[in-house]
Structure 1
């Protein structure tokens, strides 16, 4: 039996997805605004628990997506070795070890997570668009990426709510712009596949990083580091 990703996509599904993605192109630069009122009455521990569940789920999902994509579109060791090029979010100074995480102030760590999540807003939209039109990529991987995009927005809301609750009046940091659109849209298949593979590896790394930060932060704030 052929892998799911190599099976023909539903023609109707593709038309609907591509049509919607062309509409998204027109709102690419719109700012994201969230209503925080719905989170006011939620206990802070519940907010943490909900955000952690989303972060862990997204981390597992992005790893699946990256592995599925490489299994279907990356065919040589030399090609795979190139996938560790710089991610756009490496411009953010983030703690790498458990000790560094514990030494980072809670507001700083929360702002880092918000910056990382916001930095993926546009890349995720373009990733969905690229996979919807990529020959050989079908329903399974595409729907997973759409789910990651949607979950990222909900996660961002909850992290912002946590920041406001713990540090009222705190302002968000700027986030790095993604400059890889040209490669993702390249007419050269190898360039396009490499760009998508690299983007997925970066996404996997960042979602894992966020899940780690969030668990450490809950341990610090809710349990006073007694975990």
Structure 2
């Protein structure tokens, strides 16, 4: 089982953008998965409590041990500390393997619930059907997610269920076996819920927000800096960094923008270009991709390849990294995953969902152009 490394940020970046290319924000996808798994686990707890309320004493003596569950052979982390050491791909694979292992047993439970000798038989039967629905929807969502994450996330452990279609012939055996299966499912649903919550937590900090940049600026590609307005308005500091060009991705005088211009840098020797972008999902930043790429390219070529460019917005988090990613795609022939991963490895960024979709469309266009050139 792989352990988490510094490659986690790269994994999250790739996962983040490929999900957005499907027009589904990663936060929404994992939130939905967590909600479904939480509901599934809650239902399993309710069901076992209802079964316990009318479980005969002899049944407790006859009930198999948890180690006899058909999923017990799957090695899973036993506590939160161990879970933190497991790679994201393995966490998803474990959750999918457990869900897959319960497809047939849930069918057996659903069929058996209709004739279960229990006072709450109707309620139990309805909840089992709801469990099946949540399990299927969750499994479908995780299958889509794993398909976007590469080979490691698609590994599945086969855990055959050999219990057959009947859970018992007499009243006691039916209750005992039904209770045993539900206890196993409750245990596994708790694991699934824990794994998915851990995956979701990887994308957020303690406050529940995406990780914020830890420094004012970072060099995300040789001689390309992405940063915030604080450094952008300090010409002396920029000159000390060796910066020759400034690209303001948030030019304007509102609270969402940075009010600089060519005149602001007059006499400093810094060459300026401004783009009046807003950090909203519906803003079309893609109309400036070529212009920004040209400016960055000229900056790097300045003085025989000695130039440095500082690309910024207010926080250096959404607008400015999006323009740098577009440059890497347009001028360095990177695909969207590679470009975004390269920037994300150097700086904590979070292009909004609209910008990510625009990068995905650019990726599709460039891929189509390359394909036509190769014909």
Normalising by structure 1, report the TM-score.
0.74
Distance 1:99 1:203 in 2: 23
| Alpha carbons 2:47, 2:124 under 8 Å: kept | yes
Superposed, which structure 2 residues align to 1:10-159 within 5 Å?
A: 40-72=22-54, 74-76=55-57, 79-80=59-60, 82-85=63-66, 86-136=68-118, 137-159=120-142
Q: 1:148 to 1:182 in 2, by over 3 A?
A: closer
Q: Does 1:180 align with 2:163?
A: yes
Distance 1:154 1:105 in 2: 24
| Alpha carbons 2:33, 2:141 under 8 Å: kept | yes
| Alpha carbons 1:69, 1:197 under 8 Å: kept | yes
- Structure 1 residue 224, shift from structure 2 partner: 6.4
| Alpha carbons 2:40, 2:189 under 8 Å: kept | yes
Q: 1:93 to 1:225 in 2, by over 3 A?
A: farther
| Structure 1: segments with no counterpart, 5+ residues | 1-36
In terms of fraction of residues, the more strand-rich structure is: 2
Any idea what SS the aligned residue of 2:38 has? helix
Q: 1:117 to 1:191 in 2, by over 3 A?
A: same
Any idea what SS the aligned residue of 1:202 has? helix
Name whichever of 194-203 and 81-90 sits farther off. 81-90
Q: What do you get for the CA RMSD once the two structures are aligned? A: 2.5
- Structure 1 residue 168, shift from structure 2 partner: 6.3
Q: 1:107 to 1:203 in 2, by over 3 A?
A: same
| Structure 2: segments with no counterpart, 5+ residues | 1-18, 209-375
- Structure 1 residue 183, shift from structure 2 partner: 6.0
Distance 1:99 1:226 in 2: 20
Q: 1:190 to 1:182 in 2, by over 3 A?
A: farther
| Alpha carbons 2:34, 2:197 under 8 Å: kept | yes
Q: Deviations over 1:75-111 (max 9, x none)?
A: 21x5325353421111111111111111111111101
Question: Larger relative contact order (C-alpha < 8 A, sep ≥ 6)?
Answer: 1
Distance 2:116 2:69 in 1: 22
Q: 1:226 to 1:160 in 2, by over 3 A?
A: farther
Distance 1:106 1:194 in 2: 37
| Alpha carbons 1:183, 1:191 under 8 Å: kept | no
The number of aligned residues is 187
Any idea what SS the aligned residue of 2:114 has? helix
In terms of fraction of residues, the more helix-rich structure is: 1
Q: 1:224 to 1:161 in 2, by over 3 A?
A: farther
